Amino acid sequence: MRQGKITPFYYLAPAILLMLFFIVYPMINTIQLSFKDKTGLKSAATTCVEGKPCWGVFENYHYALTAELNTSTFSALWSSFWVSSYGNTLKWIIFMVGFTVLIGLIFAKIVDGIKYEALSKAMLFMPMAISFVGAGVIWKFVYNYGSQQVQVGLLNAIITGLGGKPISFLTTPILNTYMLIIVGIWIWTGFCMTILSSALKSVPDEILEASRVDGATEWRVFTSIIIPMIMPTILVVITTMVINVLKLFDLVYVMTGGNFQTDVIANRMYTEMYINFNMGRGTAVAVILVIAIIPFIIMNVRRFLAQEEMR
C-alpha–C-alpha distance, residues 65 and 272, integer Å:
13
Any idea what DSSP says for residue 127?
G
Tell me if 190 sits within 8 A of 124, measured CB to CB. yes
> SS in 3 state form for 1-18?
CHHHHHHHHHHHHHHHHH
**Which domain covers residue 125, as residue numbers?**
85-265
Report the alpha-carbon distance of residue 114 to residue 215 in Å, rounded.
Answer: 24
User: Between residues 52 and 193, which one has the greater pLDDT?
Assistant: 193
Residue 173 lies in a domain: yes
d(CA 180, CA 175) in angstroms, rounded, equals: 9
Q: Would the pLDDT of 118 be above 90? A: no
**What pLDDT does 86 receive?**
92
Number of domains within the chain: 2
- Mean pLDDT, the chain, whole residue set: 87
| Position 137 in a domain | yes
Give yes or no for residue 88 having a pLDDT over 90: yes
pLDDT in tens, 206-231: 888 888 888 888 888 888 889 999 89
- Provide mean pLDDT across the span 46-65: 83
- Between 142 and 309, the more confident residue is 142
Considering the domain architecture, whether residues 124 and 169 belong to the same structural domain is answered as yes
More confident of the two residues 309 and 85: 85
Query: Based on the domain organization, do 98 and 216 belong to the same domain?
Result: yes
CATH number at residue 230: 1.10.3720.10
Q: Which of 270, 293, 264 is nearest to 177 (CA)?
A: 264
- Is pLDDT above 60 for 20? yes
Are both 153 and 54 inside the same structural domain?
A: no
CB 273: neighbour CB atoms within 10 A? 19
* 2 is a domain residue: no
Q: How confident is the model over 194-208, as pLDDT tens digits?
A: 999 988 988 888 888
Reply yes or no on whether the pLDDT at 141 is more than 70: yes
Q: Would you say residue 19 has pLDDT above 60?
A: yes
For residue 140, being part of any structural domain is answered with yes
Is residue 33 domain-shared with residue 98, that is, in the same domain?
Answer: no
Element (H, E) at 202: none
Tell me the pLDDT tens digit for each residue of 234-258. Answer: 998 999 999 999 989 999 999 998 8
Same domain, 258 and 117: yes
74 in any annotated domain: no
For the entire predicted model, the pTM comes to 0.87
Residue 36's φ and ψ, nearest 5 degrees, are: -110, 170
Q: Is the pLDDT of residue 1 over 60?
A: no
> What's residue 287's pLDDT?
92
Residue 179 pLDDT greater than 90, yes or no: yes
Residue 232's φ and ψ, nearest 5 degrees, are -55, -40
